[in-house]
Amino acid sequence: MTSFGESHGPVIGVVIDGVPAGWSLDLDLVQAQLDRRRPGQSAFTTARNEEDRVQCWSGCLDGICTGAPLTLTIRNKDARSEDYQELSQTLRPSHADFTTMARYGVRDPRGGGRSSARETAARVMAGAVAVQILAKAGIHCYAWVHSVGQVSMDAEAYALQDSIPYTQEQIESSPLRCPLPDIASAMENEINTARVRGDSVGGTVVGWCQGLPAGLGDPVYDKLDADLAKAMISINAAKFFELGSGWAASSGHASHYNDPILAADTSEWTHIKTATNHAGGVLGGMSTGTPLWFRVGFKPPSTISIDQNSVDHRGQPLVLKARGRHDPCVVPRAVPVVEAMLALVVLDHWLGFPSAKIQRLLP
């Protein structure tokens, strides 16, 4: 996939190469994922209102993919760039403003330009195509909000599940995209408390992949978990990645965090089961056949309405107080982005998995 477009340019788009020819693309499903990422869904997200209608420019004829590169775009309509006018003379703390200047010498001040989280719409479109292909292969990708500020679900519990513990309906039942209603309510409070103060709050998202066969991934450099780490940290505001119970395991003992292997039929190696899944579904860079799960941590959105010390373009000190639209918490909208990146990484490895063709060559 190759994405293009800036926050306030004419379009955000993505070119996807390698979509199977003959595939019947469901653009409604792409639209549905875009709608989940879209701003303006609830009081907990930015009020910017974009229709975000997906358009197909190439690679699909009468609903059937032709094998040629598939190009999907959305238009940018609600570009109130005057909001950003005064910001063009200002460096915002913890934004990419001055690193962009250091890298490029110029920057597009309208909403962060290329560094805007609006670029993730391109990923969601590509991911929605990957999700469709994986679903046909029985592989399903999920994500939900695990924590907001100090309010958190129980991470250890995931290591005890041998299949996805929540339905998509449970996940979507609250605007927080947290499947447990009580926790979701507490998260809402956490966000409201931050918003009232003009502040913002961080959070974490769980990614989960169900139905993955054992053996996906390479043992040294293109490890499945390493590729996931890169994909997740490439999401705007993502600051940590943890596979399975990795965080807890790094301060614990093998006698607790090793996953005992259960008796099994080994005529095929995909049937091995373990009593627990602290590993998060990957060992030695390759999938185990148990659920893949991981957490991604997002920092609190950097744009807040509290006074901050900063400088202008000439380096002169100023006090900054944001007035534009901004999210007090990014994690509910990050859920479809995590899902999309998960699907793209898994599909990439799945397509490269040794095919029946090669195995036929072996004695």
Q: Does residue 45 bind a second copy (CB under 8 A)?
A: no
Helix (H) or strand (E) holding 247: helix 246-249
Q: Does residue 285 bind a second copy (CB under 8 A)?
A: yes
Among 195, 288, 332, 335, binds a second copy (CB under 8 A): 288
Who's near 315: CB < 8 A, 6+ residues apart? none
Among 33, 48, 74, 108, binds a second copy (CB under 8 A): 108
How many residues lie near a second copy (CB under 8 A)?
Answer: 154
Distance, C-alpha 265 to centroid of its chain: 36
Q: Does residue 263 bind a second copy (CB under 8 A)?
A: yes
Q: Does residue 261 bind a second copy (CB under 8 A)?
A: yes
Residues in 152-181 at the binding interface with a second copy, rule: CB under 8 A:
152
Binding string to a second copy for residues 114 to 143, with x set by CB under 8 A, is what?
xx---x-------------x--xx------
Who's near 28: CB < 8 A, 6+ residues apart? none
Q: Does residue 30 bind a second copy (CB under 8 A)?
A: no
Q: Which stretch binds a second copy (CB under 8 A): 28-36, 39-47, 165-173, 191-199?
A: 191-199
Among 111, 179, 291, 301, binds a second copy (CB under 8 A): 301
CB 129 within 8 A of CB 65: no
CB 149 within 8 A of CB 202: yes
Rounded-to-integer distance, Cα 129 and Cα 5, Å = 19
Who's near 267: CB < 8 A, 6+ residues apart? none
Among 2, 42, 49, 85, binds a second copy (CB under 8 A): 2
Q: Which stretch binds a second copy (CB under 8 A): 35-43, 155-163, 176-184, 279-287?
A: 279-287
Rounded-to-integer distance, Cα 48 and Cα 44, Å = 12
CB 10 within 8 A of CB 70: no
